[in-house]
Amino acid sequence: MSNNNFAIANEASLYIHIPFCQTKCFYCDFNTYAKLESLIPSYINALESEAIFWSNYFNKTEIKSIFIGGGTPSYIPSKYIEKLMETIFYKFKLTKDSEITLESNPNDLTKSNLKTYYKSGINRISLGVQTFDNSLLKVLGRRHSSQNAIEAYYLIKESGFKNINLDLMYGLPNQSTDKWVDTLYQLLSLKPLHVSMYALTLEEGTPMNEWIKEGKLPKQNDDIVADMYSKTEEIMSKNNYLHYEISNWAISGFESKHNINYWKNKTYIGIGPGAHSYIPPYRFSNIKSPREYTKHLNNLNLDEFNFRLINNEKLKFIDTSEIINTELEMSETIMLGLRLNSGIDIEQFKIRFDINPLDKYSNNFDELNNHNLIEITEDNIKLTPKGRLLSNEVFLKFF
């Protein structure tokens, strides 16, 4: 396949998008849809078609991680997840320790569907908790309560899953630092092995963004949000969680393989509407409409798997595509690598690009170092605590 002008990676990650939701949260701008349940059976067939399409290229590539996200994968009947996983295991080469995550909502989970997930090979559950404050859950448009989340967490553990991630959000309207600290201690009482915590980002077109513009909800103060983040670092550190990425904490050994693959700017394949892929030097995304995606994939001739068709009308499920040149690949590798607590491995960067990053970006790093935003050692370049608070400003230096 050398005539396809892209390199087959030795290892890669696989993302699978399930766009269905019972209701859409007020802050969400992801490619998700409510009231499309009738499409689910044919949609799963379409996902399998795309998986088979890509497996023709990647049948010898080790898939180190799979993330089934959305949307709400736990909302659809579990038999469809099982069916999809059978195809994935059959068509791709998974390693013995592949991390296979399913994203879920607390009030979707039952003993029955968790048993199906476990039997299908899923070994990690990511639970969308967001907050343990019931009043804030209503502000977010979540359809579970704090008690639902706690009960779901223990049900997941009882079902045999050890590796559980909890998603939380801070910087919410009317959320004080004290309320956030209460959430952190509630979290710690559960002792999950992995936690993702993100500040609320207001996105154009979402109900919450409009309500804040109209003054119906207060916009959170940036200084309070920064204080929440600092409290999080302090409290999680005291409780033996490794802060391995700007927004992620884990008990040592349970860092997310899937996310680390993104942050190291390595190959990933996205399956489903709106899913993004990076197969160097190509980066591309699928069309967003689940109906259009399903129509095209269920009519795809799987014998015509020529990657150069990515820009050809025969591959109608591809929406956007671009070729990432070396300059952009280097700057993106810097930006993504700085998200990791370990930072940029200087030697690995030299091996990948045949140049020392300290030489390539000497002016940038000198300026950042002078402002105490980065720390440079013999082996690594990484953000300081101040740099993590101002990470977006740091990243802009490389574009």
For 266-315, what is each residue's pLDDT tens digit? 999 999 999 999 999 989 999 999 999 999 998 877 665 555 555 555 57
For 305-346, what is each residue's pLDDT tens digit? 555 555 555 578 889 989 999 999 999 999 999 999 999 999
Kindly provide the residue ranges of all beta strands, DSSP E only, lying in the chain, ordered along the sequence.
11-18, 20-21, 33-34, 62-70, 93-104, 124-130, 163-170, 194-199, 242-245, 248-250, 268-271, 276-279, 282-286, 318-323, 344-345, 374-376, 380-383
In degrees, rounded to 5, the angle at the alpha carbon of residue 44 between the alpha carbons of residues 75 and 286 is 100
pLDDT of residue 303: 61
Pick the CATH number of 340-396 from 1.10.10, 1.10.20, 3.30.70, 1.10.150: 1.10.10
DSSP 72-101: -GGGS-HHHHHHHHHHHHHHSEEEEEEEEE
CATH 1.10.10 placement within the chain: 340-396
For 124-176, what is each residue's pLDDT tens digit? 999 999 999 999 999 999 999 999 999 999 999 999 999 999 999 999 999 99
How much is the average pLDDT of 173-201? 96
Q: Look up the pTM and report it.
A: 0.94
Superfamily of domain 7-263: Aldolase class I (3.20.20.70)
CATH 3.20.20.70 placement within the chain: 7-263
- Read off the pLDDT band of 2 (50, 70, 90): very low
Residue with tokens 């396809």: 4
Q: What is d(CA 279, CA 267) in angstroms, rounded to the nearest whole number?
A: 5
pLDDT of residue 8: 74
For 92-118, what is each residue's pLDDT tens digit? 999 999 999 999 999 999 999 999 999
- Read off the pLDDT band of 31 (50, 70, 90): confident
Pairing of strands 242-245, 248-250: antiparallel
How much is the average pLDDT of 5-27? 88
Res 197 pLDDT > 70: yes
From the CB of residue 28, how many other CB atoms can be counted at a distance below 10 Å? 17
Sign of the CA dihedral running 238, 243, 249, 255: negative
> Does residue 145 sit in helix, strand or coil?
coil
